[in-house]
Amino acid sequence: MFEKTVTRTVLAAGVAVVLAGIRVSAAAALPPGIEPTTVSLSSVLAAYRRASGTVAPGRPDTRVLRWTIAIGGMTGTETALQSGSDERTDTILGPAHEAAGTLGGRGWSMNANGEVVMERGIHRGEQVDDATFRAATGPSSAIVLVGHMTEPFDAYVIKVDPTGGVLEYLYIDRATSLLDARAIHRHGHSDLVTYDDYRTTLGVTTAWHAQDSIDDGRQVEDYRLQDIALGVPVDPSQLAIPQSKSIVAFSAPRSTLPGRIIGDRIILPIKIGGRVVNLQLDSGAAGIALDRGVVEALGYTEYGRVIGETAGTYVESDAVIPSMTLGTLTMQNVHVRAIPFGDLANGDTPVAGLLGFDFIDSVVLHIDYVNGSVEAIDPQAFTPPPAAVSIPIALDDEIPAISARIGPATGLRFLVDTGADRSILFPSFASAHADALVDHGLGAEMEASFPFLSDFEGVGGEVSYRPIELGPLTVAPWTYEKWLFFLTQDASKFELDDYDGILGQDLLRYYDLYLDYPHSRILLVPNSRYTDRFGN
């Protein structure tokens, strides 16, 4: 499993900036150097709003902002449009064009391969924060003025931490009453965005320069505003959701793919540049990843160098592969990520990357774990088998998420990951559902028998865990009285925000699995392994 880099535009508090790469290392403690203040939160908020200004009455509630951006050695542009509650941001960086927005209250995003995801609203923490800040007139349990500081900003410090939001600190300049910086914290990670070069346009004061300093300066992303237009008509077509593209061309409605299922890991041979490399089919991968050595050996250009994080940190870059072939399926001009990746599926089968969302989203995949086969089906020709149970999925992070239940803990959100050997629980689940953490015996038995086996490999490093057997686990109509999970420990880089864990191969292997991203669902049919272990 690896996680995509999150890039989104936040239009709040009179400032339009990009927040990118939220998952970085920093403590979420109160910033140092805070001193008590006799000034009230109400007066700070009122001064901030006066300083920020508003569009003159009678003008449309619209904004058009055009930025130049510099990220990972690449430069590009970003255009952000907003009309009322609808917005769209288009980012061009290197060869990639990505976009995201909200239309009619529904969020969407488009990746570099032109595939569009309609979001289910899993990540609303920052929107909750923004709404809390906009509505605040004085202190509450969700927003307080904690004091003032002189370094690194001469600013009042406002803590925003509403229910359903994320912890953040806003630094309001004591001299200008404008926003100096915004620090967002979650799961031991933080992102600090600083603002300067404020200018006033039609009564609205906006920062024309923003800098995103990630992980104590490990990576710096720079944004400079080139043009701003307020209160001007925005053509609705400019806010429209793009038509989603498919990167796969079919020669027939159904195609059995070459490759093998080795120990429940799905290994597929991909022909690239006249060579064949093995990639693991991984529904937990938000894209297609190739080992950097393969990209370099084939002579493809790499664009940019940014820091990625999964089990640890690593350098990643973008590349465009002119042609990829899998059996009778063909893909042209495919955007991939080049990362350090080298693995052996069964001790002697080399694996050079991951085949994730960008491929899976273009097909319906039928995975038959018992017979060791994988079939790709044209989504327009797919009819679900009569015995299949359909489970809706959310693809907000380009990884399928479904609902589940463990004991008394309901409404849980799990990622379905064909690349995970075992099912996993994140520490956020443990902190929120302590009453469900009752080991049924196997976890303690494993710790006693194998005290030194306490981590597993992930992209970029290792993740510590402890085994715990919980139950009952309920997924759709099926209930398992006991199920073994790995509960990750001190693994905030691996843990994904707003999810409780991962359902891996140890569960999926009992089903014929259909990954049907085009119809926002997965389908499961119990196989002979299920019958042998659990009965009918």
Closest CA to 492 of 464, 466, 452: 464
Identify any residues that bridge with 522 across adjacent strands, giving them in sequence order. Answer: 391, 515
% of the chain surpassing 90 pLDDT: 73
Residues 6+ apart with CB under 8 A from 48: 13, 172, 177, 178, 179
Tokens at 70, concatenated: 């510099």
% of the chain surpassing 70 pLDDT: 87
Instruction: Find the range with the poorest average confidence among 52-61, 330-339, 478-487.
Output: 52-61
Q: What is the per-residue pLDDT across 16-49, written as a single tens digit (0 to 9) for each?
A: 222 222 222 334 467 788 999 999 999 999 999 9
C-beta pairs of 258-264 under 8 Å, 24+ apart in sequence: 258/326, 258/327, 259/374, 260/349, 260/372, 261/367, 261/369, 261/372, 261/373, 261/374, 262/345, 262/346, 262/349, 263/345, 263/346, 264/369, 264/421, 264/505, 264/506, 264/508, 264/509
Q: Which CATH architecture has domain 7-239?
A: Clam (2.50)
Q: Can you tell me the distance from the alpha carbon of 394 to that of 167, in angstroms, rounded to the nearest whole number? A: 24
- Outline which parts of the chain fall under CATH 2.50.20: 7-239
Q: Is residue 247 scored above 80 in pLDDT?
A: yes
| pLDDT score recorded for residue 431 | 87
C-beta pairs of 106-112 under 8 Å, 24+ apart in sequence: 107/396, 108/241, 110/242, 110/244, 111/4, 111/287, 111/335, 111/357, 111/358, 111/398, 112/318, 112/335
Q: What is the rounded average pLDDT for all residues in the chain?
A: 88
Tokens at 326, concatenated: 């899998």
Tokens at 394, concatenated: 């959310």
What residue has token string 């976890």?
Answer: 443
Q: Can you tell me the distance from the alpha carbon of 74 to that of 352, in angstroms, rounded to the nearest whole number? A: 26
Span 459-463, mean pLDDT? 59
Task: Answer for the pair 495, 427: CB distance below 8 angstroms, yes or no.
Answer: yes
Sort residue 299 into left (φ over 0), alpha (ψ -120 to 50) or beta. left
| Higher per-residue confidence, 461 vs 355 | 355
| pLDDT score recorded for residue 188 | 62
Q: Is residue 480 scored above 90 in pLDDT?
A: yes
Instruction: Give ∠ CA 287-291-296 in degrees, rounded to 5.
Output: 120
Q: Is residue 488 scored above 50 in pLDDT?
A: yes
Q: Is residue 170 scored above 70 in pLDDT?
A: yes
Q: Can you tell me the distance from the alpha carbon of 443 to that of 145, in angstroms, rounded to the nearest whole number? A: 45
Query: If DSSP codes are grouped into helix, strand and coil, which group holds residue 43?
Result: helix
Task: Answer for the pair 47, 39: CB distance below 8 angstroms, yes or no.
Answer: no
Q: How confident is the model at residue 522 (pLDDT cuts 50, 70, 90)?
A: very high
Span 153-180, mean pLDDT? 95
What residue has token string 């140890």?
Answer: 506
| pLDDT score recorded for residue 535 | 86
CATH class belonging to 248-365: mainly beta
Report phi then psi at 463, rounded to 5: -125, 125
Tokens at 203, concatenated: 């009564």
Q: How confident is the model at residue 408 (pLDDT cuts 50, 70, 90)?
A: very high
DSSP per-residue letters across 189-246: EEEEEEEEEEEEETTEEEEEEEEEEETTTTEEEEEEEEEEEES----GGGGPPPPPP-
Q: Is residue 217 scored above 60 in pLDDT?
A: no
Query: What's the Cα-to-Cα distance from 188 to each of 357, 494, 497, rounded to whole Å?
Result: 27, 12, 11
Q: Is residue 454 scored above 80 in pLDDT?
A: no
Task: Answer for the pair 72, 85: CB distance below 8 angstroms, yes or no.
Answer: no
Span 508-525, mean pLDDT? 98
DSSP per-residue letters across 479-530: EES-EEEEEEES-TTTPPTT--EEE-HHHHTTEEEEEEGGGTEEEEEE-HHH
Q: Can you tell me the distance from the alpha carbon of 123 to that of 400, in angstroms, rounded to the nearest whole number? A: 14
Q: Can you tell me the distance from the alpha carbon of 21 to that of 18, in angstroms, rounded to the nearest whole number? A: 10
- Outline which parts of the chain fall under CATH 2.40.70.10: 248-365, 389-534
| pLDDT score recorded for residue 343 | 72
Q: What is the per-residue pLDDT across 323-381, written as a single tens digit (0 to 9) for each?
A: 999 999 999 999 999 988 877 666 678 999 999 999 999 999 999 999 999 999 999 99
> Any idea what DSSP says for residue 301?
P
| pLDDT score recorded for residue 186 | 72
| pLDDT score recorded for residue 124 | 85
Q: Is residue 11 scored above 60 in pLDDT?
A: no
| pLDDT score recorded for residue 313 | 64
Maximal C-alpha separation, the chain: 73
| pLDDT score recorded for residue 216 | 56
The amino acid sitting at 131 is: A
CATH of the domain spanning 389-534: 2.40.70.10
| pLDDT score recorded for residue 32 | 81
